[in-house]
A and B are shown apart, each in its own frame.
Chain A
Amino acid sequence: MATQTVASGAPRPDVTAPRNRKRPKPGVPPGERSLVASPSTWVVWAGTAAFFIFLIGILVSVMVDSFGRSWFTTWLPETFSTDWYASAWDRFGMTQVIGVTLAVAVAVIILSVLIGVPAAYLLARRRFPFKKLLTVLFFLPVLMPPITYGIPLATVMYNMGLGRSLTAVILVNLVPSVPFVIMTMTPFIEQINPAIESAARMSGANTRRVFTRILMPLLVPGVLAASILVLVRTVGMFELTFLVSGPGSDTLVVAIYRAMTAAGGGESRPLISAMAVVYTLSMMAILIIALRFVSPVQLVARVKESRED
């Protein structure tokens, strides 16, 4: 015991000595940063590290849980299996849930682009009476918490007999999506040179041809970016969908929530984890594609160019 501590203690000075000797030595050429960072940098990096520990802990523990069996008081589950996925698939009708999620997302994307892009074009290019008022009107849904307008909207849906239907889910999801498309597309259209359109008009193209031949090809990247952002938001949208959906029209997030809060303490935990992993993986796939087309900032807010500050 004693010899061990001596043995382990002996080499320590050798290891630390060169570092100690190096630190005070100001042999750093001017313009190059020292390797020893300032305390504030350490605080920032510690905060980042803590955040990522939580983040990765959350991700990995859900992942492990979904593959694990009888994981109670140990670091890792006793055995691993993929059974939870198979049973989650059967039990929650995942084929149908994923089908609904995709159908809703595609419908919302198509509708919001069809509604939003023409409006964005006019807002970007033209002056007309009440333009300010209209802009505020279009952006209002983004400023409000979804629940605030979601509850009255859901009430209207139920009164019209649309409750728990796929139509209601799509309509409700349009409310934040259309303003989002307008917000993304207006600055995008603003940066397209209007001279191109004028040139087309002078060459004898009518409005329809200007749109189909000139603007459409130029708008494709913007529309693509907006669609992906709408996709991310629609798949992740919980509050609004939850208010109007029911069995048969639940999207994946809502299905997971319902499984977690089902009467009698909810479904067994790994089953939910398996669903959650499916959700995360599909979201990540979308996001990896998305990040090829858009900058991360666009995922959380409108693009920089549209800032009015």
Chain B
Amino acid sequence: MTAPAVRRTQSTASLRHRLAERGIDTSLLMLVPALVFAVALFIYPFSYGIGLTFQPSVAVQEQWGGGVFANYVAFFKDSFVFDSVYLTMRLALPAALFNVLASLPMAFKLRHRFRGKKLLTTLLVLPITLGTVLTAQGLLIFAGRQGWLNRFLLQIGVIDQPLALVNNYLGVMFSLIISGFPFAFLLISSYLSGIDPSIEAAAKTMGANWQQRFRRVILPLLAPGLATTFILTFVLAFSVFPSARLVGDAMGATRVMALMGYRAFAEQIDYPMASTIAVMMGVVELAVIALVLLWRSFMYKGTTGGKG
């Protein structure tokens, strides 16, 4: 009610002053480089790419029809391309789930202080130095037919034939776990350390046993962290393609979307189709993230009381 009156009395002040009161002044110019960067290197290319998907090449148009939507028609109808969605999910979802579920008990067990904890965390960072390309090379040597792993298993008599651990689905899975697990573990550990220990202590005092404490106290508090970790490991696993090519079966079980996108981009030089695959990758990934966030929205959203 008094707002118009206030505005009228302020109108004597200069425009600059009034803008400054709303948080707009020359220091906002510091935002300009970042804004230029975001527009030039992210928004423009991305919208350009989306526009490109509606300009299919003549070959695609002739083969699949559908006018400006020919790329999308090709994406859904060409089973060679569309199957890659399923193949990607078959790799990325189990990998992300495994990484989160395996690091949960580990982070839980290792949250207390013990000797060598710092060493353990440092060692867990090691795979980040390896990177996917190197992990692939190592897996090929270590877990290959002549590698130490198979040699050892043969020697102790567990198996008769060398196991096929690389150049197939399993190889990529191993590579995803090796690069994703430490990531998930470090994140979950940090979320876990953000939960105030006195909350659990209180539950203990009231007579809750180990399972109840975990199920009723820790898990609800940790759920947002778990969701975030799952999303981040999923994004990591979803977009992987060097290992799919190097330790996987690039034409068969690990023909992931990223690989198809790259193939269209660099080998067929069909930029519109490559952009279509890239956009569809984004859509599929966002759908999974949206599902996780939906699940998370049903969870406890208050404070964890810790240092987080």
Residues of A at under 8 Å CB distance from B?
A: 40-41, 43-44, 47-48, 51-52, 54-55, 57-59, 61-62, 65, 72-73, 75, 114-116, 118-119, 121-122, 126-129, 134, 137-138, 140-141, 143-156, 158, 171-172, 174-175, 178, 182, 207, 232, 236, 238-239, 242-243, 253, 256-257, 260-261, 269, 272-273, 276, 279-280, 283-284, 286-287, 291, 296-297, 299-301, 304, 307, 309
Residues of A with C-beta under 8 A to B307: 304
The chain B residue with its CB closest to the CB of A171 is B41
Give me 28 A-to-B residue pairs in the complex whose CB atoms sit less than 8 angstroms apart, sorted by A's number: A47-B106, A54-B143, A55-B178, A57-B148, A58-B135, A59-B130, A65-B141, A72-B146, A115-B34, A126-B27, A129-B22, A148-B285, A150-B278, A151-B265, A151-B274, A151-B275, A152-B46, A155-B274, A156-B49, A232-B129, A236-B128, A256-B137, A260-B136, A280-B134, A283-B129, A299-B128, A307-B194, A309-B304
- The one of A154, A174, A296, A301 in contact with B125, judged by C-beta atoms closer than 8 angstroms, is A296
Residues of A with C-beta under 8 A to B52: 152, 155
Across chains A and B, which 7 residue pairs bring their CB atoms closest together, nearest first?
A: A152-B49, A145-B239, A58-B138, A118-B30, A119-B34, A128-B23, A283-B129
**Total number of B residues with any Cβ neighbor in A under 8 Å:** 97
Residues of B at under 8 Å CB distance from A?
A: 22-24, 27-28, 30-31, 33-35, 37-38, 41-46, 48-50, 52, 102, 105-106, 109-110, 120-143, 146-149, 151, 174, 178, 181-183, 186-187, 189-190, 194, 224-225, 228, 231-232, 235, 238-239, 241-242, 245-246, 258, 261-262, 265-266, 271, 274-275, 277-279, 281-282, 285, 289, 301, 304, 307-308
Residues of B with C-beta under 8 A to A147: 239, 241, 258, 261-262, 278, 281
Contacting pair B238 A145 (CB below 8 A): yes
Q: How far is the CA of A55 from the CA of B135 in the complex (A)?
A: 9
Q: Assuming A174-B41, A301-B232, is B138 touching A151 (CB within 8 A)?
A: no
Contacting pair B124 A296 (CB below 8 A): yes
The chain A residue with its CB closest to the CB of B250 is A261
Minimum Cβ distance to chain A for residue B10 (Å): 18
Q: How far is the CA of A121 from the CA of B30 in the complex (A)?
A: 9
Residues of B with C-beta under 8 A to A253: 131, 133
Q: How far is the CA of A269 from the CA of B146 in the complex (A)?
A: 13
Contacting pair A138 B38 (CB below 8 A): yes
Q: Assuming A148-B281, A153-B41, is B141 touching A269 (CB within 8 A)?
A: yes
Contacting pair A75 B128 (CB below 8 A): no
The chain A residue with its CB closest to the CB of B26 is A207
Q: Assuming A147-B239, A296-B125, A300-B187, is B136 touching A174 (CB within 8 A)?
A: no
Residues of A with C-beta under 8 A to B289: 143
Contacting pair A182 B34 (CB below 8 A): yes
Residues of A with C-beta under 8 A to B109: 40-41, 44
Contacting pair B151 A75 (CB below 8 A): yes
Known: A57-B148, A276-B137. 11 other contacts (CB 8 A): A47-B102, A48-B106, A128-B24, A138-B38, A145-B282, A155-B275, A236-B131, A256-B133, A287-B129, A291-B125, A297-B189
- The one of A57, A155, A174, A236 in contact with B48, judged by C-beta atoms closer than 8 angstroms, is A155
Q: How far is the CA of A148 from the CA of B258 in the complex (A)?
A: 8
